[in-house]
Amino acid sequence: TKRAALPRDLEGRRVVISAGGTREPMDPVRYLGNRSSGRQGYALARVAAHRGAHVTLVSANTADLVEPSGVRMVRVGTAEQMRASMLTESDGADVVVMAAAVADFRPVDRTGHKIKKTDRDPGALELTRNPDILAELVEAREAGRLSAEVIAGFAAETGDPDTTVLEHGRTKLTRKRCDLLVVNAVGDGRAFEVEDNDGWLLAADGAEYPILHGAKSHLASILWDAVSEQFARHEK
C-alpha cells in the first residue's frame, strides 16, 4: 500500500512542545505524579518534524519512550523545571504546545533524606500551587515578550452531572486565553496510558472540530492542520 506524502506545511517553523507528566518530589525516593505517558506529545513532535518543523520537545519523565528522530530533546522532572525550560525554549518559537500534564500542586517540604516510618500516623502532606505554565506563556505574549503565533493547550476532562466534557473545555479555553485547546474525555481507561485518543479541538474564534477516536498521531495531524490554517490566515 502506498502512503500519501505528508504536507511540508510547517517547513522552517519553530515549534516547542511539552510532553509527559511532572513529578513533584517529597523526598529522594517519593513523588506526587500523574498518569500521563507522554505519547501524545511525542506524536505531536513526530508529525511536526515530518511536516518540516524544527521541533524542541520538553519532556517530563518519559524515559521509556523512543525519542522521535530529528527532534531536540530537553528533559525535565518537576513543574518548576518544565516552566524554566518552556520559557527559555519558546523564545523565538512560532508555535508552543502544552501537551504535558503539569502537577497543579507540589509538596511544600522536600527533605534531603528518606522519610522514615514511625509508630505514629504521619502528619498531613502540605501542598503549594505550581506555576501555570500555559497561563504564563499567554501572559508573556500579551506583554510582547513572546512572539509565537499559536499557543495551544490540552485539557483532560471528566463529565459530571451538571457539565459535559465539551462544556468544561469551552470554559477552560476562555479562562486560559490560548488559541487552540484539545479537549479529551478521561476516565474509564480513556486517553491516559493508552495508544488512542479522541475529543474536540476548540479554537479561540469559536470554531470546534470533533476528533474521532484514533491514533495519537491522528489527533496530532488535526492539531497541525489547524495550526497551519492559522499561519495561512495570518499571511493573508
Tell me the window of 64-72, 102-110, 115-123, 165-173 that interacts with Ca ion (CB under 5 A). 102-110
Residue 40, all three cell numbers: 501524545
Tell me the window of 2-10, 97-105, 144-152, 213-221 that interacts with Ca ion (CB under 5 A). 97-105
Q: Choose from Ca ion, ligand CTP, none: what does 149 bind? Cβ within 5-8 Å by kind.
A: none
- The least CB distance from residue 157 to Ca ion, in Å, is 10
> What element of type H or E holds 203?
strand 196-203
Is 34 noted as a catalytic residue in this protein?
yes
Residue 56, SS3 per DSSP: strand
Q: Choose from ligand CTP, Ca ion, none: what does 155 bind? Cβ within 5-8 Å by kind.
A: ligand CTP
Q: Indicate which residue of 34, 61, 184, 197 is catalytic.
A: 34
Q: Choose from ligand CTP, Ca ion, none: what does 146 bind? Cβ within 5-8 Å by kind.
A: none
Check residue 149 for interaction with Ca ion (CB under 5 A): no
Cα Rg, the chain, nearest whole Å: 18
Residue 197, all three cell numbers: 485518543
154 annotated ligand binder = yes
* Spatial distance between the Cα atoms of 165 and 184, rounded to a whole number of angstroms: 8
- C-alpha dist (Å) from residue 53 to 50, 81, 146, 179: 7, 24, 18, 19
Query: What are the residue numbers of the active site?
Result: 34
